[in-house]
Amino acid sequence: MILDANVLLYAVDETARGHERARAFLEDHLNGDVRIGLPAQSLGAFLRISTHPRVMREPLAPAAAVSHVEDWLAAPAAWLPDVTAATWAILGRLVAEHQVTGNLVPDAQLAALAIQHGVAVVSADSDFARFPEVTWVNPFA
């Protein structure tokens, strides 16, 4: 599985609805037996959003946000999935076949990465349902 940034954000933001569920999900899986992908795209989005004072009620200090990422990457089951030329070929197909535009492009990028690596996308974002080729898991459903 690979994680969307929203799961990471909910796991850290104590004011978020679903915080406890996300925190437990992340902790259990990072310490589990099945690898859990933390795409660079999701980690970058986590850093961008978690430190943004206009987005977060209680934004993290940059060093605190980086510390979370470092802790996650050091976990036993953590995996940083590679983006390759194959990922881009899959992305191009998804964009064309599903008429992906604008803000849906990052979702298509994660979907392409999941297809390439043969894993599910874990996200609270229902936009992943538009990609029938991808197994989408909503840990909050």
DSSP characters over the chain:
-EE-HHHHHHHH-TTSTTHHHHHHHHHHHHTSSS-EE--HHHHHHHHHHHT-TTT-SSPPPHHHHHHHHHHHHHSTTEE-PPP-HHHHHHHHHHHHHTT--GGGHHHHHHHHHHHHHT--EE-S-GGGGG-TTS-EE-TT-
Residue 61 pLDDT more than 90?
A: yes
Q: In the structure encoding, which two tokens stand for residue 121, read together?
A: 């996308």
Residue 17 pLDDT more than 90?
A: no
127 assigned binding-site residue: no
Which region among 14-18, 57-61, 105-109, 124-128 has the lowest average model confidence (pLDDT)? 14-18
Residue that has been written with the tokens 């803000």 in this structure: 103
Per the CB < 8 A criterion, the answer to whether 68 and 46 are in contact is yes
Rounded to whole angstroms, how far apart are CA atoms 65 and 60? 6
pLDDT at 122: 98
Residue 102 pLDDT more than 90?
A: yes
4 assigned binding-site residue: yes
Domain locations along the chain: 2-79, 85-137
pLDDT at 141: 83
What is the pLDDT averaged over residues 48-70?
A: 96
